[in-house]
Amino acid sequence: MNEAYLRLVRQQGVDWKNRAHFFAISAQIMRHLLVDHARSHNYAKRGGGAIQISLNEGLAVSKEKSIDLLALDEALSRLEKMDERKNRIVELRYFAGLSSEETAEVLGISEITVKREWLKAKAWLFREITSESESEV
């Protein structure tokens, strides 16, 4: 997204500490841009024309499934309160598009830990999002 790049280069007063710091801010900018875009179009909280984005590695079982970005953002906010590292892994993998290896390097943890935490986070987010959408029906 061009807007993400523009917001990133407009960051003033940021003392870029390292590569991890850069990717963390980049992922957060991308997340906020996507959520702001969804909110600005006055889409219903879930369904009813909400922006549906497909997950390349998916929170869901199937790559064809889509997810409501606003529901994902809300679930990620809850995840962050419970487990900040899992939240960071999701942001880096999903919003910044980093591989498991790159995410491990950025966070200073092993790749197997990233893979394990990524799977747990996806399962937790999927349960959160599907249980919310089912309770609204």
The residue-averaged pLDDT of 107-126 equals 96
The residue-averaged pLDDT of 36-53 equals 58
pLDDT digits (tens, 9 = 90+) for 2-41: 665 556 556 666 666 667 777 777 777 777 777 777 767 6
What's the confidence (pLDDT) of residue 62? 39
Higher-confidence residue of 135 and 72: namely 72
What's the confidence (pLDDT) of residue 99? 92
- The domains of the chain are located at 2-135
Tokens of 100: 């498991």
Three-state DSSP state, 130: helix
Tokens of 8: 């990133």
What's the confidence (pLDDT) of residue 123? 95
What's the confidence (pLDDT) of residue 81? 96
Higher-confidence residue of 30 and 78: namely 78
What's the confidence (pLDDT) of residue 84? 95
CA distance 81 to 43: 26
Strand partners, 52: 68
pTM assigned to the model: 0.65
29, 33, 60, 92 from 7: Cα distances, Å: 7, 9, 30, 17
pLDDT band at 127 (very low <50, low <70, confident <90, very high): very high
Mean pLDDT over the full length of the chain: 76
